[in-house]
A = this chain, B = another copy of it.
Amino acid sequence: MEDFRYYTPTRYIFGRSAQHNVGKLSSELLGSKVLLVYGQGSAKKSGLLDQVENSLKEYGIKFFEFGGIKPNPADGPVRLGIDLCKAEGITGILAVGGGSVIDTAKAIATGVMYDGDFWDFYCGKAVPQRALPIGVVLTIPAAGSEGSGNSVITKEEGLVKVSIRTEYVLRPLFAIMNPELTYSLPPYQTACGIVDMMAHILERYFTPSKGTEVSDGISEGLLKAIIKEAPLVLKHPDNYDARANIMWAGTLAHNGICGCGKIEDWASHGLEHEISALYDVAHGAGLAVILLAYMRFMLKHKPERIVMFANHVLDVHGEDEIEIGEEGIDKLERFFKSIGMPTTFKELGIENPDIDLLVKKVHQNKGEVFGAYYPITSQVSREIYIKALKGN
């Protein structure tokens, strides 16, 4: 087991009608002038934004609406938000939405406290040391940003999608999570979220570290719960318990608890980011395709953790390691298909992906070699992208 530090000072308020706590929590933790960041209108249409604003008003909190944040959130709105915060003397940021909204809020929160351009944090020129306090009302369980210290922003110029990670500076101080708010999520988006959270767990499960039974056990338990609840939540979008389990799993998948004591991989996310940046596909759908290709490659080159996953999570048993691994990956593929997820580039809607360009971009962004479980050289990333062409 590797040495680690783990600090998650996020207050989770989870359950029915939880959003009505937002005024009280904001007045305690965000101060009196709040930037209210949200997405492209669903929170407005559903009436959630009204509920949030009424709750803020009840506690005398002044707020400034900052809506219109799009998926794969861009650097442009972050700069506008930072300017607005500085001009208005904002004391805290409240994100109402999913990963894109929260990640934008985080970038603004730390950008405000920094003299240079906020992109310095994302291109590695600086490390976030401080941020305005952040609160979240979560509407899309997937990215896990409500509990993580991470943020992913895409620089529009050159389509560079970059993820940063802090131990705790960018962790929200509170996350309000009402599973009922996710009843209206369409099936495709729900399924993309499910794959995304599974990937967050698997990126930590695929580790070179030894002696990590506790973190492995937690990861396996979470993965099993997600696989059990996924068909339920798709068949009955208003099944409270199924939505609740998926929502809470999404947080735990990415708040670090699955990675304690491990060197984490993050190769699949690296490989996928280029696909969603170039072809504008949903991150979760891209991950379904890449995860399968990645696991098929690894089964040939470093099978241990692939076989362990098949065995412990998918209950595949047998004599031969490779057969267990193959049956596991096939089972995962069938699971992805059963929840409406693509398993090849073609099913993702990309008939002829430009693999040369994908390989070039991914190594431009991630370096000559990346990944911790197995070194992803340009030859390896090419092989994985090629495997994603044809699937099984």
Contact = CB atoms under 8 A, between A and B. Distances in A.
Interface stretch (A12-20, A58-66, A114-122, A379-387): A12-20
Interface in A214-228: 214-225, 228
Nearest to A249: B214
A302 interface: no
B245 A213 contact: yes
A8 interface: yes
Interface stretch (A42-50, A132-140, A236-244, A344-352): A236-244
Contact of A5 (B9, B14, B223, B249): B14
Contacts of A3: 14-16, 18
Nearest to A179: B1
Nearest to A178: B3
**What's the interface size class on A, roughly?**
35 or more
A330 interface: no
A225 B228 CA distance: 21
Nearest to A211: B241
A279 interface: no
A39 interface: no
Interface string A243-262: 01100110010000100110
Contacts of A335: none
B11 A5 contact: yes
Nearest to A4: B14
A219 B225 CA distance: 11
A326 to B, nearest CB: 23
Interface string A3-37: 11111111111111010000000000000000000
Contacts of A210: 241
A314 to B, nearest CB: 14
A225 B218 CA distance: 9
A214 B252 contact: yes
Contact of A12 (B6, B229, B252): B6
Interface of A: 1-16, 18, 179, 210-225, 228-229, 240-242, 244-245, 248-249, 252, 257, 260-261
19 contacts: A1-B240, A3-B15, A3-B16, A3-B18, A4-B12, A4-B14, A5-B14, A7-B11, A8-B8, A211-B242, A212-B245, A213-B241, A214-B222, A214-B248, A214-B252, A217-B222, A217-B224, A218-B218, A244-B261
Given A9-B9, A211-B240, A214-B249, 17 more contacts: A1-B245, A3-B15, A4-B14, A6-B11, A7-B9, A7-B11, A213-B228, A213-B241, A214-B245, A214-B248, A216-B221, A216-B225, A217-B222, A218-B218, A218-B252, A248-B260, A252-B257
